Amino acid sequence: MTSPDRRTKLTLAAAFRVFVRQPSPWIIATLFVGALIARIWMGDWQLTDALVPVIMLALFPLVEWIIHVCVLHWRPRRIGRLTIDSLLARKHREHHTDPREIPLIFIPWQTFLWLLPALVAIALLVFPRPALGLTFLLVLGVLGLNYEWTHYLVHTDYQPTSRLYKAVRRNHRLHHFKNEHYWFTVTSSGTADRVLHTYPDPGKTPNSPTAKALHSAA
């Protein structure tokens, strides 16, 4: 007798229980809660506070694409005896090798040791008002949690029901299992990919022999 498809057994609740055991969602949630408390305490609400989330949401697919291509798919480079190869790039190569390994799906916790101070510095120094910088951090926390949850869920056996999430899941799995040179967006259904010409017809795109071994010789 054929065994039932195990993919149909994973519920969102079961997936969430695994999700909350990972460090990066807690770190991002701490950033979100801290920014929310500070933002409410500071007040100074203005029209620009409403514009920040709109602009960030519109730009996020492009930022996501740039990070994926330029940081995560960074090819190690040697300068003399020095090899330039970040932890994020190394862990992402491991992620492509084993896309189902749960810890490798998430942003490495060590990354936040420099990323959080950098984001706080941007919030305080780049924005004209401290309150507006806190709005930036608040929205970034929401986007970050959504990124981690979406990326994690795509790599589980959870079967989506919504049309949008089906498209998101399909595109990211094409990136991992068909050709790593395309389909770089993760939380949207190919928005930046369409603009930047990395959204080809899957039926006309060859399978890449290096999808699970980034930068290896074909």
32-64 pLDDT tens trace: 999 999 999 999 999 999 999 999 999 999 999
The H or E element that residue 60 is part of is: helix 47-66
The H or E element that residue 56 is part of is: helix 47-66
pTM of the model: 0.92
Distance between CA atoms of residues 84 and 77, nearest Å: 5
**Tokens representing 11?**
């519920």
Share the mean pLDDT of the chain: 93
**211 DSSP 8-state letter:** T
Q: How confident is the model at residue 144 (pLDDT cuts 50, 70, 90)?
A: very high
Q: What percent of the chain has pLDDT over 90?
A: 89
Residue 216 vs residue 42, higher pLDDT = 42
Q: What are residue 82's phi and psi, to 5 degrees?
A: -90, 130
Residue 23 has pLDDT above 70, yes or no: yes
- Grouping H, G, I as helix, E, B as strand and the rest as coil, residue 98 is coil
Let me know: does 65 contact 192? Beta carbons within 8 Å.
yes
Closest CA to 87 of 117, 60, 113: 113
Compute CA distances 67 → 51, 92, 165, whole Å: 23, 12, 21
pLDDT tens sequence across 69-108: 999 999 999 888 898 999 999 999 999 999 999 999 999 9
In the predicted model, what is the mean pLDDT of residues 196-212?
96
